[in-house]
Amino acid sequence: MAVWALGINHTTAPLDLRGRFAFAIDQIAPTLQGLRRALSEGARQPGVETAILSTCNRTEIYCAAAQPALENTLDWLAHTGGVSPEVLRSHSYTLQDGLVARHAFRVASGLDSMVLGEAQILGQLKDAVRAAEGAGALGSTLNQLFQRSFAVAKEVRTSTDIGAHSISMAAAAVRLAGQLFEDLQDIRVLFVGAGEMIELCCTHFAAKTPKHIAIANRTLERGEKLATRFGGEAMRMAELPDRLHEFDAVISCTASSLPIIGLGAVERALKKRRHRPIFMVDLAVPRDIEPEVQQLEDVYLYTVDDLASVVQKAHANRQAAVAQAEAIIDAGVQSFVHWMEQRSPSGGVVPLIQQLNAQTDEWRALEIARAKKLLAKGEDIDTVLEALSRGLTQKMLHGTLAELRAGDAETRQHTAHTVSRLFLRHSSGKNGL
């Protein structure tokens, strides 16, 4: 079995390109089905295991099959995002086998994130795995890979201080807002969306006790639930154009495939504000706020990539923890590679074990069938049992006894040693148990 991965992230691809390959969680199932069809037809590999991890910082495809199909996977993803394979290749990374495991373990542990040690990515990876399971795209190999990823991530978080000095995107947004406004208690803050990231941002901003908090969301009920927690108000997304001017800070993170806040809406808001500045943070991929807004005076717009320099400042304090985490990951990779090798059709012990089980099941079935015939004829039950046990024993020992008689003296001696170790364990006392 081969395992491979294809991905783009914040270190390899610009924001707008990442936006082309962002998949909402409800898109994962049909996307995986499309990928599996493409690999089945193009690479002639039916039953390929697949999973897709898509966040604001990365989109990664994980696959497992009899043979790797990296080029077919890249061609499919390029077509899906509407770019040429050459463009995607120049901004992506590809991994196979043990390197896939190492990467997945680092991702799950937060070592490959913009925010080193972030805890959010583990939940996002678990969501991706659940989505793959729901789509029927996950098999034993990828399931083993991801379950081991979760276990490694848990050990990293409990055994190291990898997240002790972590600065989240939400904290970075608050820090930048504090550089623009003299007192965050005097500002009105609007949050667009009601997902996990917005909830985290609300928590950080609410700690600064701003003058007013509002939540704009497509589903008013969900917005109201979040707004109630922070003593704010909820509004529908449709109200944004008419109310945008009321807010000094706007933080947006939705799963929309198109921008929610356009250039025209921001221009009108600035006129109503008489050009008082607006602080805006767009944490969504694809973007929630049109990029052209960046060009307006009196608007301070930051994207996830713009926040990178802020969140990277604490890296030096965590190098010791990173070294500890990498050691844990190394051990996890070795264990996974060993698991894969055991299941290799050439040289793996698992296929051999399966063959042995199949052979013994066949022998057992033959002897039971023979015993039933004898019983039906009225044979004595003790005689039948004796014949059954003797038949099974002879079948199991036939090949071994033949090997003991074959070959030269050295070969026979080696075979005898192996047979003794396998079959005469009780004669070795405690060491044989």
Active site residue 56: yes
Distances in Å between the alpha carbon of 37 and those of 19, 93, 138?
Answer: 24, 23, 14
Among the options 56, 201, 202, 253, which is catalytic?
56
Token pair 């039906």: residue: 376
| Six token digits for residue 125 | 């990876």
CA distances from 185 to 181, 207, 249 (A): 9, 10, 12
Q: 342: buried, middle or exposed (CB in 10 Å: 19+, 13-18, 0-12)?
A: middle
Within 10 Å of residue 433's Cβ, how many Cβ atoms? 7
Catalytic residues: 56
